[in-house]
Amino acid sequence: MNLSALDDCFEGVIPSILATASEEGVPNISYLSHVARVDDRHIALSNQFFGKTMANLRANPRAEVLVVDGAIGRQYRLDVVWLREDSEGPVFERISAALNASSAQIGMADVMRLTSVGLFRVDGIHPLPHPSGEEPPPPAPRDPILPRLAAAIAAIGSQTESAGVVEAALSQTCALLNCPAAVLFQHDPARGTLFTVASRGYPASGAGSELALGEGVAGAAAASGQVQRVSDASRVYRFAAAIRASTGAEDITPAIPLPGLEGAQSRIAAPLVVRGQLWGAIFAESEERFLFRSEDELALRVFADHAASTLLLAEALAAEGPAASPMTAARPAFQPGNGFRVVHYSFDDSVFIDDQYLIRGVAGRLLAYLLGRYETEGRTEFSNREIRLAPELRLPDYKDNLETRLLLLRQRLEEKSAPVRIERAGRGLLRLALSGSPRVEVIAT
Amino acid sequence: MHLGSEIATFLRGPILMTIGTRDAEGRPTVARGSGVALSQDGTCATILISEFLWPDCIANLRDNGRVAATFVRPDSYRAFQVKGHALVRAVRDDELAQARDYVLMSRAFLVSLGVPGSMVDWWLTARDVVAADCGIERAFEQTPGPRAGRAIP
């Protein structure tokens, strides 16, 4: 029997257990949050908290690991011999990233940071019998994923504009992975965060919500450049709650709530990378336990690469509109008393409308610019070309993801029922739709 | 040493238990328990173990009696570990009934946490249980976190 047949044991679904014995022959038990298969004869265990285990292994490297198939429940005893601890290198990086995906999603990355991984040689694999004496029938095989991957890539490839690509990225991720909810994040290098461009399958889109790089499953995927998966999120939460109770670690509260499924058990995220540059991440989740398998990881990786290229291409080929933005004939007439107050804090470009937080970062700067122009010039129409060239917007001089920023801003304004909306006014043109007269105040601090 | 009433109450709840033993050459092995009861004075934990699933564990206990046992609540991860020496004996009828009750209770509890019952059926059983009377010599905190490993006085 080969370790590669035990892949479903190394998914972190059911905790593994390690038994060691001291030099004097005193046994010890520890629970392991992550066991990874290194190759056909070696496994690596996360070493987070256990001092006794380490002392035992140094004195007596023979140990046993009990692992459980996360799909079926079958148990295996592995005869192992501890070889060494690694605190760097590819195996350490892989387990560290997987562990961060779990612990970061509950804001515990620092508390649960991995110090080293133990490398073990596996000398024997012993499957345990079913207590009934009869093995239950194996579960039905899963549908092959390749046809769904081909369909997803074809669907996103047929889109020409950013809005359509974003929508297809979300709907096709759900179709590919048979899951109800997905989020598209974009990287904001200036802030070192990911922000939600759009989502699918949630009561509120969460557009504009932010996630630090390395935080959560999506943040871990973006930071590591690897697909990240969690198969039993409830266990991660319970585990973290135990640690939090015993360390007093604090929660992190984002300004806009991130979209999230209550009771989600399976989570997966892939980085979106084009030409070696991080564009963002695609994230998906489901209430079903252990829904995403290693083949889903590979399929999402392939789909994410296509989605990232298609997103960038849609931006690059987006209509620019005329060089000079058209003048609007007349300011709309508003009922007296229909004005609204816009406060733009220039230090982080956060924008508040009537004291309610709306958005920050590039999207905040964009909105402040558009409303400021309206105030001084009375214009409601703007061309993409003008926006890209406006020096006060400080957009990066190459392709700046303007389309996705506008998409996000549009959604956020709609969700907040803001007195200003952004509409398309033609190729490369947008229009402000106002239901009152804005008074823009810039606070430079 | 003896364990206090708070731990005795904890042990009556829906906990999972893991038993560590080692053979004459010092090679350790893992097993799962199918029920536990603490003696009145708190000095001895009787752990029920399926010899059908865990013959090596029972053989080790018969050989040298060295034992480590971990008790954990799967909902809160609250856990502690005891160490000592155990003597193996046949179960009484009431202990067999206790093992059956334990399997039903723990299975239901794990199912309530989202673990499929068909998976639990691989792990917990009252089949061929024997009793291991473990004299408790030391006890340690094992709830995940920085206090894990700290001795319980």
CA of A297: how far to CAs of A103, A173, A270, A328, A429, in Å?
19, 12, 8, 50, 39
Residue A289 has its nearest CB partner, among B50, B114, B127, at B114
- What letter would DSSP give residue A33? S
Give the pairing of strands A340-345 and A438-443.
parallel
Q: Chain B contacts of A52, Cβ < 8 Å?
A: 149
Q: Which residues contact A48 (CB under 8 A, 6 or more apart)?
A: A33, A99, A112, A114, A115, B144
C-alpha distance from B104 to closest chain A C-alpha (Å): 14
CB contact under 8 A, A64 and B28: yes
Q: Chain B contacts of A51, Cβ < 8 Å?
A: 149
Burial of residue A375 (CB within 10 Å: 0-12, 13-18, 19+) is: middle
Q: Which of B15, B52, B122, B129 to mutate to test the interface with A (most CBs of A within 10 A)?
A: B122
H or E element that contains A169: helix A162-177
Question: Does any CB of chain A come closer than 8 Å to the CB of residue B91?
Answer: no
- What letter would DSSP give residue B151? B
pLDDT digits (tens, 9 = 90+) for A234-293: 666 665 566 556 555 444 334 788 888 888 888 999 999 998 889 999 999 999 888 898
Strands laid side by side in the A62-68 sheet: A27-32, A16-21, A62-68, A75-86, A116-127, A42-47, A35-37
Q: Which of B15, B16, B21, B22 to mutate to test the interface with A (most CBs of A within 10 A)?
A: B22
Between A323 and A79, whose confidence is greater? Answer: A79
H or E element that contains A254: none
CB contact under 8 A, B27 and A25: no
Most confident range (mean pLDDT) of A36-45, A86-95, A98-107 is A36-45
Q: Determine the average pLDDT of the residues in A308-333.
A: 75
- pLDDT score for B60: 98
Q: Chain B contacts of A247, Cβ < 8 Å?
A: 145-146
pLDDT digits (tens, 9 = 90+) for B82-118: 999 999 999 999 999 999 999 999 999 999 888 889 9
Tokens of A239: 């585990």
DSSP, collapsed to helix, strand or coil, labels residue B31 as strand
pLDDT digits (tens, 9 = 90+) for A101-112: 655 555 554 555
- For residue B138, the Cα-to-chain-centroid distance in whole angstroms is 15
- pLDDT of B28 > 50? The answer is yes
C-alpha distance from B41 to closest chain A C-alpha (Å): 24
Which residue, chain included where needed, has tokens 């003008």? A386
- pLDDT score for A251: 41
- pLDDT score for A330: 59
Q: Chain A contacts of B75, Cβ < 8 Å?
A: 238
CB A28 within 8 A of CB A20: yes
Tokens of A183: 């989020």
C-alpha distance from B54 to closest chain A C-alpha (Å): 9
CA B60 – CA B69 distance, rounded (Å): 14
Q: Chain B contacts of A30, Cβ < 8 Å?
A: 142
What global pTM score does this model have? 0.75
What's the angle, vertex CA A57, arms to CA A51 and CA A58, rounded to 5?
Answer: 90
What is the full DSSP assignment across A58-92?
Answer: HH--EEEEEEE-TTT--EEEEEEEEEEEESSSHHH
DSSP, collapsed to helix, strand or coil, labels residue A39 as coil
Interhelix angle A146-157/A162-177, rounded to 10 degrees, is 170
CA A233 – CA A77 distance, rounded (Å): 25
Question: Does any CB of chain A come closer than 8 Å to the CB of residue B106?
Answer: no
Please state the ipTM of this predicted complex. 0.95
C-alpha distance from B19 to closest chain A C-alpha (Å): 7
